[in-house]
Amino acid sequence: MTKENTRVDWVDTAKGICIVFVVMMHSVLGVENAAGQQGWMHVVVAFAAPFRMPDFFLISGLFLANVINRDWRLYLDRKVVHFAYFYALWMSIQFLVKAPVFAAEMGWQGTAWLYLWSFIDPFGTLWFIYILPIFFVVCKAAHSARIPWQVVLGMAALLQMAPVHTGFLLVDEFASRFVYFYAGYVFAPKIFELAQWARERTALSLVLLLVWGLVNGAAVFGGWSTLPVVSLLLGAAGAGAIILASTLIVEAGKFDVLRHFGENSIVIYLAFFFPMAVSRVLLLKFGPQDIGTISLAVTILAVIGPMVLFWIIQKTGLGWFLFRRPRWAYLSGTYRSRQEPEMAS
């Protein structure tokens, strides 16, 4: 969410939960791949698979109704150019770090071509902020064309259930994820009503979360969570569960750190790769023998690392270009001269 929107505590908490799960997935699978064996954290990653990204996209669409009627120039600046700047910047940073490895495998010419290709096919962990602008444009185009939301949502659901496996990341992820983003947009009022409902019915919400956890776990470990229809229902149910859980966490006044992580979720998403990679190498070499414990430690360091970097930037005033668009990166006539430049979230 950008600073254009009023921050909502349970929304930020939900984003915090999701970003932790996303970083956890990359951290755990990276450790296990390097070690050649699985640890106990693998179970947690598997459990979160049906809802991890669906909830992230649903939350990303929640406030779209507030801005979808803007003129195209301002809309494209805030919803396309904004993310394009951070993708190009952080893709280049990640590529610079990994370039020597690529060069050893494919030579410097092949590495250069791979860099250019990364502007077409998303690079590494950054595909989320690459595909978000596409979702925003599709929603705006459908809205401008006055296509009934029921038609768009129905087509998005069919795409999610269809066996779309082209091998091209953008096509496959669009088919798999757009339905959740669009649902966040069209059902936003109902989603906020659900959060208020949970706020007033703590005991019942806890029961529902328990039932959901049992069903989600049975589907995952029973091997049928990825079946058509089932995966769509699990994604929707999981998103609902995160909404309930986030609301209850806020009401309990616990784990405020999750809200802080959610408020800066894109900061974490952009920068977690480096502390993750460094801590993985060091802990596998010098850390405990248990792979699950190493995976947990890498996850924690990968989440905290970007927040430390962000804190240093806030204190020193140096490096704001990493998380704020400079003035030259705005479309002409869209820079808000009397307000702080937008954060990368």
Residue spans of the domains in the chain: they are: 9-329
pLDDT of residue 82: 95
Q: How many CA atoms lie within 13 A of 219 on its CB side?
A: 24
pLDDT in tens, 179-206: 999 999 999 999 999 999 999 999 999 9
Q: How far is CA 101 from CA 97, 106, 110, 278, in A?
A: 9, 9, 12, 15
What pTM did the predictor assign? 0.92
Q: How far apart are CA 247 and CA 240, in angstroms?
A: 11
Nearest Cα neighbor of 220 from 238, 243, 245 is 238
pLDDT of residue 342: 52
155 token code pair:
């087509």
Q: Is the pLDDT reported for residue 288 higher than 70?
A: yes
Q: How far apart are CA 205 and CA 231, in angstroms?
A: 22
Nearest Cα neighbor of 182 from 220, 150, 217, 222 is 150
pLDDT of residue 338: 43
Q: Write down the residue that tokens 């784990």 correspond to.
A: 255
DSSP, res 77? I
pLDDT of residue 70: 94
Q: Where are the alpha helices (DSSP H) in 61-126?
A: 72-76, 82-117
> What φ, ψ does residue 343 adopt, rounded to 5°?
-80, 165
270 token code pair:
């952009």
pLDDT of residue 341: 43
pLDDT in tens, 128-179: 999 999 999 999 999 999 999 999 999 999 999 998 899 899 999 999 999 9
Q: Is the pLDDT reported for residue 253 higher than 90?
A: no
Residue 324, SS3? Answer: strand
233 token code pair:
């229902």
Q: Are 24 and 45 in contact (CB under 8 A)?
A: yes
**From the CB of residue 123, how many other CB atoms can be counted at a distance below 10 Å?**
21
Predicted confidence band of residue 123 (pLDDT cuts 50, 70, 90): confident
DSSP, res 340? P
pLDDT > 70: percent of the chain: 96
Q: Is the pLDDT reported for residue 2 higher than 90?
A: no
Q: What is the mean pLDDT of the chain?
A: 92
Helix-strand-coil percent breakdown of the chain, rounded to 5?
75, 0, 25
Q: Is the pLDDT reported for residue 4 higher than 50?
A: no
pLDDT of residue 327: 92
Q: How far is CA 63 from CA 100, 178, 181, 186, 202, in A?
A: 41, 15, 11, 10, 26
pLDDT in tens, 75-96: 999 999 999 999 999 999 999 9
Q: State the SS3 of 223-285.
A: CCCCCCCHHHHHHHHHHHHHHHHHHHHHHHCCCHHHHHHHHCHHHHHHHCHHHHHHHHHHHHH
